[in-house]
Every structure is written in structure tokens, then in C-alpha cells.
Structure 1
Amino acid sequence: MAPLRPSSLMDGISEAASIKQNNLVYELQADGADIITLSLGEAFFDIPAPAFEELTPAVHHYSHTRGVPLLRQKLAKYHEMTAGTPADPDREIMVTAGSKSGTFMTLAAILEPGDEVIIPEPLWVSYPDQVRLCRGVPVTLPWHATVDDIAARITPRTRAIIVNNPHNPTGRRLSDGELRTLHALVDAHGLLLIADEVYSEFVPDDEPFRSAAALDPDKRHTVICNSMSKNFGISGWRVGYVIAHESLIRQLAKLQQHLVTCAPTILCQYLAEHFEDILARTRPQIREVVRRRNRVAEAFAARGVTSMPGDSTFYLFPSLGSSRLDSTEFAAELLRRYRVSTVAGVSYGASCDRFLRVSVGAEPEERILRGVTAICDLIDETGTGGHG
């Protein structure tokens, strides 16, 4: 029997570059290779293994499509404390199987074939393909564009703008002025602002995070996608959430019912009952990984390697400088010769081929700095004056 041919839609969909890279790392490690892994999009925290025995047998069954009620209540309180705006746990919050599904379902709920979504570069690798999967058209801006340049990309087919704040891969946070400009644009043109805020906890010591929700408390044109998986250091649990106007949440609930029914009940109930304890345990570790990120930025700078501006998350986006290799070639050579895994910058947009994404969340600092040395050495070796 001949293999089934995928639809024409799938012909235009790529693998997620960072996940593809890390799958390669897992395979190399399974064969005994020692890889300095600077490609993982997660931070490893010291968190006790959960004890599910304390939960009631109900956790083995479906929960409400919008999520375990107690967890939605905890998330509403958390959102009000961190963003400064209320969210109704019964009508304006839906718990999802990771924030990634939240962004996808939002796009699926609003796009008609051919509709456009504006995505500034560097972009998160899944945004353009999620738009394509919803039969929309991703419209990108080069990394050096500003929020003021977005207006020139708006057409009658534009439906939404997606921003990641704090930003993967640069660690940059949008300023209050930039957020105000974005809100003015979407308000004037009847668009939706989809704010992916999954790194909202990953900001420097004592610095507040400014959520896009703060400038649209009634959620007239703003959707917040966030993640307990990231902020609680439990990426494998796949628990995220969406905060939006109740009219949109109703549409997302229909999609969730047909895709996964509900987010995993047992994990959501455990998180609801241990919400404050887990966050209290992870927050000091989050602050340390952000400090580590900024120490690593200094290590790059000491070798003359500049990074795109940013001070948050656990990512850096260093420049390849004078290297004659493009980012795909550079990342492959770095893995082959030095056993250091990173993600090619072109994965984050065509304008980003002279950069490399480096994550500092999954390795001890000594190994990270060895990786930094390898990156800087390879830049020198493959530069115009190098000997490689």
C-alpha cells in the first residue's frame, strides 16, 4: 500500500527548529556523547517530585474544559497581583495543555483563509507555522525594525499582531511606550494583540514585569498566553493558560473540547493545591538563572561578541560577527567539533541568520562558559582573519 500523501497545507510546515535540535541531542546522548546543551528552551530547577497520593480519585478523570476551578482561581489571583488587572476565573481564563496550544487555538479561532498576522523578528519558531496551519499568512518584520514600523505592514487582511514579552531569544522586555504604541495600533485598526508572556517571571531582581494586559484591563483587544510549565520549572507537565475576553474564551473552549477535552486533571489539581509553595521555591532559582544569563552576556562581551539587547529570560542571541558561516552551518560545526548544541539564528526569522540562540537554563555555569569559549573560538577560527 502506498503511503498516504500529506495535504498541501503540511507541505509548507517546517519542524520546530529548537525541538528538532534537541531531539538530535537526546539521540547523541543516548549513544553516550557528552553534549553541552545550550539549546533547550527550559530551565532546570530543584523541585521535589510530586506526591499524587494526597489527591482525591477524581483527578483520574476529566475536569471542566476551562480547567480545574481551583487552579483558575489561583491563576486569576496571580494575574491580578502580577499584571495589576482582574481576570474572571469562570469566564476569562482557560487552562491549556501548554501555552503553545493557547496561541494556536487563538489563531484558529480568529483567522479566515488568507488573513495576515504580523510577527516581528526575532520570532518564536512556532508562530509562523501556527499561522500557516490556520491557513493564514505570517507577515514578518526584520529584527532591526521597531514597533513604529508595524503600522506599515497593516493591510485590510491583517487580523492580529503577536509579541513575545519577555522575549525568546533576546531576553528583551517591551517598554511601556512600545506597549502603548501596540495597543494604539490594534485599537485603531480593529486587531487582536496576542501577547505571549511565558517568561513573565524571568526578569532581573526587583524589576517588575509589565504585562500587555495592564493597558487593556477590559480585554477588548488583548489575549494573554502564559505558562506554568515555564514559570514553575515544569516544562514537561505542559500546563499553560489563556486570559482573554469571555467571548473569545467561549470559542477557545470549543476548540479545546475537540482537541484534548481538558488540560491534564491530575497535574492541574496538584498545581492548584501547591501553587504558592512551588512558586516560592522556584522564584529564587529563577532570579539566579537570570543573573547567570547576564553573567554569560558579560562573558561573551569580554571576548568581543555582542548580543542583541536584553536582560531577562534565560536566553541570549549573540552575533556571529566576522564568521563566514551562516547560522545553520555555524551551529552544525559547533556541535560536530565542540559538542556544544545551540539553535541557528535563522530559525527565528530570515533576518536573523547572523545570530545564534544560546540558552543557559539547563547546564551548570562552568559548562555554559566552556560553551561560550567554544562559540567565541569558532567565530575567530571561521572569521575573515581566521585559520579554520
Structure 2
Amino acid sequence: MTLLIADRTNGIYPSKIREVLEQASALKKQGVEVADFTVGRPDFDTPEHIKEAAKQALDKGFVHYTPSAGSLIFQEAVCSRYYEDYQLQFEPSQVIATVGASQAIYSALQGILNPGDEIIAPEPMYVYYGGLSFLAGAKLVSVPISDEDEFIVKAEVLGKYITPKTKAIILTSPNNPTGQVIDKETVVKISQLAIKHNLIVIADDIYDKILYDDVDYLPIAKAPGMKERTIIIGSFSKTYAMDGWRIGYLIIPKELYKGIFKLHQHMVSCPNTFVQIGAAKALTDSQNCVEDMVKEFDRRRRLIMKFFDENMISYVRPKGAFYIFPSVKEFGLDSKELCMHLLHEARVAIVPGSAFGAAGEGHIRIAFSASYEEIEQGMERMMTALNKLRNK
């Protein structure tokens, strides 16, 4: 029997992050100690008060469907957090509970893009943006940025990529993989560009609480005129160490809500009910757990930067998220070759910069979401291996 597969599956590709992770996992199964800096997920347990809220929800019988957009408790909690943090006023009816941020992005792109449309994204970028745009029938237009620009896209450069086909801009700040945060001045300039050309902005803000160096963060939805044209992607995976809970959300301008909601409803009857209760507790309770986690991430960040400084390896100081994206051009291997070399020579698993687009080549992504001790040991082995390459 001939099996028929949809042509669209040939236009998307497996995650290159997972490729490295699988090889690292194979070595671990053989008993090899590997420092794993590949997957961007906190190594902390979900805070106890969040787990307890979900347990109580189960005991109280929160085991049936909620409305497709999520429970009112969840929607109100999202709105409350945005008002408290950013003085942004949204209505619960603008919020959709999703199965993580990935489903939120998929729903948003399917809801706004038509075949032939273009969407712009700075590169290096999150690995799935291209595939998700393709599945919507649209073209993702990459705007290359480099360490010379500190991996911050300039509005005037972004503007050169806008055509009559451009429908939207997708921004990730703090950024995966670079760890950079778009400064306020640039955010305002990009917002003016979006208004001028009548573009939607998809703000992938899932790292918005993981910030360092007292950076002055401005969500683009708060820029003048942007609340009405910004789709916000939110997640609990990074901020509250809830990656396995698979819960996120969309905040959608009223004009766009109905269409995106219908798509969401066709994909997901509703996200897990008692998980929504735990997520609402995360948003409405004390945020000390987030602050404590960020302090520890900062300690790990400073440790990695110390290794790079002492070994004179170039990098752009990350201001958010839990990634650092150093340059490795001097070592004479492309980023994938270097990652494979470090995996087998230093027993360190990291992600090649090329996984995040052509503009990421010549760099590697290190996630400092492993323990301080694992980072310290892994970085020592990595520096030894890199210095051997340097001295060849």
C-alpha cells in the first residue's frame, strides 16, 4: 500500500535543538557524563503553591471542560498581571488559554496570515517561526542582525524589508537565542513603523520576567498606538518553571479575536482545566518565586561570562532570558561541527547558531538553565577543548 503524506510536511523541518539533545541523551544512556546546555527550560521545580492550587482544583472536581477560551478565573488572572506589571488594561474576553506558547503562535499566525502574505522577523530567531509561517501559506522574511549591532534590530533596517505583501512583524524580547532585550527607543521606533504601514506585531513575550542589569523593559503593546495592533504570546514554562504543564495564552486585539478564536477552538476544545487553576494562582500570588529564580539565573549568567572573559571569547552580554550566544568564528569549524566536537571532546551539549537561521552561524547557544555546578564543570571542560583548538 502506498502511503500518502501531505506536501506541506516537506516544507517544515525537525528542530536542530532536538538533534543535539538526542545525541547527548544517547551518550548519557551509555553512562557518559554530559553537561547539557541545550534545552531552554528552567531546572527548578514548579513552586509549591502553584502545584498545591492544581491539586486542590482536582480535589474540588475541576476535571471537566472549561469554555474553549479558558476559564474566567484564568482570563482574569492574565489581565490582572498585565495591569499590575505594565498598567496595560485588557478585558478577559481578549484572552485565550492555550496549550503552551507554541500553540499560541500557531493559532496567531494561522489567524492573520493568508497565502502570499509576508511576515518579518529578526534573525537569529526561534527555530519554529519559519515552519509555522510556511504552514499558514506565508513567507517568513528574515532580517539578519549581528553581534556588531548587539543583536538588536534597528527600525530603519527593519523598514527596508517591508513590502506591500508584509502583514506582520514578530518580535521576541528578551530574545531566544541571543538573550538580548530591545531598548525602549527602538521599541517605539518599530511601533511607529508598524502604525505607518498598518502592520500587526506578534509579541512573543515569554521571557518578559527574566531580566538582568536593571534593564528598562518596554513591552511593545504599551508603546503609543500599539495595544490595538499587538498580539501577545504568553507562557508559564519559563517564568514559573511549568514547561511540562503545557499552558500559555494569547491576548488579542478585539478586531482580530473572533477569527483566531475559531481556529483555536478547532484545534483545542480547551486546555487542561485544573492546570488553568494552577496557572491563575501563579499569576495572582506573590512573585517572589520568580524573583528568586531570576537571581539564580543571573548568578549562572555571571559565571559563564567570567569563563568567556578569562578566555577572551567574544560575546554580547545577555540582558534577559537564560541564553548566551558567543561568537566561535575563530575556531575554524562551522557551528554544527563545533558543537559535535565539544559534545564528544568535552562532553558538553550546546546548540549550533545555525539552528536559528543563517545569521546565527558562527555562534553557539548556551542555555544556563542547568545547575551552577553543572555549568561550572561543563564550562571548564569546554574552555579546555576550545583552547586546544585555538592552539592548533
Whether TM-score is above 0.5 comes out as: yes
Residues 310-325 of structure 1 correspond to what in structure 2 (within 5 A)?
310-325=318-333
1:300–1:372 CA contact under 8 A, matched in 2: no
* Number of the residue aligned with 1:245: 253
| Secondary structure at the counterpart of residue 182 of structure 2 | coil
1:191 and 2:199 correspond: yes
For 2:213 and 2:318, how far apart are their aligned partners in 1? 14
1:114, 1:157 within 8 Å by CA — same for their partners in 2?
Answer: yes
Distance of aligned partners of 1:129 and 1:301 in 2 relative to their CA distance in 1, 3 Å threshold: same
Letter in 1 for 2:115: P
1:308 aligned to which of 305, 310, 316: 316
Alignment counterpart, residue 121 of structure 1, candidates 120, 123, 128:
123
Does structure 2 retain, via aligned residues, the 8 Å contact 1:320–1:379?
A: no
Q: Per the alignment, in what secondary structure is the counterpart of residue 294 of structure 1? A: helix
Task: Report the counterpart of residue 54 of structure 1 in structure 2.
Answer: 56
Distance in 2, Cα, partners of 1:349 & 1:113: 22
Deviations 1:132-158 (A, max 9, x none): 111111111212353320111111111
Per mean C-alpha deviation after superposition, the further-off stretch among 272-281 and 195-204 is 272-281
The worse-fitting range, judged by mean Cα deviation, of 277-286 and 147-156 is: 277-286
**Number of the residue aligned with 2:277:** 269
> In the alignment, what sits opposite 1:94?
96
1:72 partnered with 2:79: no
1:320-340 deviation per Cα after TM superposition (whole angstroms, max 9, x unaligned)? 041111001111111122211
Structure 2 CA distance, aligned partners of 1:268 and 1:108?
Answer: 24
Corresponding residue number in structure 1 for 2:18: 19
- What is the DSSP-based 3-state SS (H/G/I as helix, E as strand, rest coil) of the residue aligned with 2:202? strand
**When the two structures are superposed, what TM-score results if normalisation uses the length of structure 2?**
0.91
- The residue number in structure 1 matching 2:389 is 382
Cα deviation for residue 81 of structure 1 reads 1.6
Distance 1:287 1:131, change over 3 A: same
Q: Report if the CA contact (8 A) 1:322-1:379 is conserved.
A: no
Q: Secondary structure at the match of 1:382?
A: helix
Contact kept, 8 Å, 2:169 with 2:202, in 1: the verdict is yes
1:6-25 CA distances to partner (integer Å, 9 max, x unpaired)? 32221121112223333443
1:58 offset after TM fit, Å? Answer: 4.0
- Is the alpha carbon distance of 1:208 and 1:95 closer, same or farther for their aligned partners in structure 2, counting shifts above 3 Å? farther
1:38 aligns with 2:37: yes
Partners of 2:34 and 2:348 within 8 A in 1? yes
Q: Contact (CA 8 Å) 1:216, 1:222: kept in 2 or not?
A: no
Aligned to 1:219: 227
Runs of 4+ in 1 over 4 A off after TM superposition: 205-208
The answer to whether the 8 A contact 2:240-2:282 is kept is no
Whether contact under 8 Å (1:60, 1:265) holds in the other structure is yes
2:350 corresponds to: 342
Letter of the aligned partner of 2:137 in structure 1? R
1:122 touches 1:348 (CA, 8 Å); kept in 2?
A: yes
TM-score when scaled to structure 1? 0.92
The one-letter amino acid of 1:188's match is K
Paired AA for residue 123 in structure 1? M
CA 1:37–1:358: 2 relative to 1, 3 Å: same
Residue 98 of structure 1: how far off its partner (Å): 0.7
User: Does the CA contact (< 8 Å) of 1:327 and 1:353 recur in 2?
Assistant: yes
By how many angstroms is 1:206 displaced? 5.1
CA distance in 2, matches of 1:266, 1:351: 41
